[in-house]
Structure 1
């Protein structure tokens, strides 16, 4: 009986390990590429009626990514395509999901050809901006999303 239970347990652990190994996601990070210029386009976000927010996000993202610039090399083109701030009044029971910032990062070579393309989706809890009753809570939520988005971009481009 004990041997059967041990054999069954070993079998189940083997299945679980195999399943988990198949479910692991490996980030497709590129070998580091020298980046000479960084361009951030928030036009698609502005076109969705969020022009004031798009104007705020552009310099934030440029500042976050500035450390990637090496003076010469490929161009990092980041296009911000979506922003969603869920309603938030404090506490998990009141939220209707997470905040998200969508972008696409592309590395463009000196010859104009695309070297790589990375869709980026930063997801954060609406509480990431701190206390819901502060007047600047939404700006702080956006700042947290921009920082997360930039972190994913740095990870993918090898910076």
Structure 2
């Protein structure tokens, strides 16, 4: 037997779901799984980062394939395009705390726009994503591969945010 309280709760929940923007729906709800993933970089990012964009692109691609699971079926379904528009590593990567004495931050950033297209190329939805990682989170600043580890951490962070929006 449904009580009045349960009925009101179900009505409110249903009404709230109806008010959600279409952009918050899962990609699988768009009618097809993700069949391809494309990573593209803005010219300013490739000019500034050179060969490092390959590292970021490969890590982003690899992480997305791993975490999308059954929502990713190569060759079938929708196309996911990740446009990396900004990539920034803080010059300060040591110590604790989030702010330096001069007021600057010690966070790294990767900004992307993720767009989902159907098979015919029609845009279904897009999501701007700003990923932030602590510059000191990749380990000791004095190790020779610290920048590569920081870039990979940003790519993985961005991939997890993409999954949240695209595949729920």
TM-score by length of 1: 0.75
2:85 aligns to what? 81
1:109 aligns to what? 118
Does the Cα contact within 8 Å between 1:64 and 1:147 map onto a contact in 2?
yes
* Residue number among 130, 152, 158 corresponding to 1:143 in the alignment: 152
> What is the DSSP-based 3-state SS (H/G/I as helix, E as strand, rest coil) of the residue aligned with 1:134?
coil
1:118-133 to 2 correspondences below 5 Å: 118-133=127-142
Q: 1:9-67: CA deviations, max 9, x gaps?
A: xxxxxxxxxxxxxxxxxxx63223210011111243214x2222212211111111113
Does the Cα contact within 8 Å between 2:38 and 2:81 map onto a contact in 1?
yes
Q: 1:76-121: CA deviations, max 9, x gaps?
A: 0001111110012511367531110111110001121100101111
CA RMSD of aligned residues (A): 2.0
Q: Within 1, Cα distance between the matches of 2:153 and 2:26?
A: 27
2:27 aligns to what? 32
Q: Which ranges of structure 1 fall in alignment gaps of 5 or more residues?
A: 1-27
The number of residue pairs the alignment matches comes to: 132
Q: Which ranges of structure 2 fall in alignment gaps of 5 or more residues?
A: 1-22
Shift of 1:75: 0.1
Does the Cα contact within 8 Å between 1:79 and 1:104 map onto a contact in 2?
yes
Cα 1:112–1:127, aligned 2, differ >3 Å: closer, same or farther? Answer: same
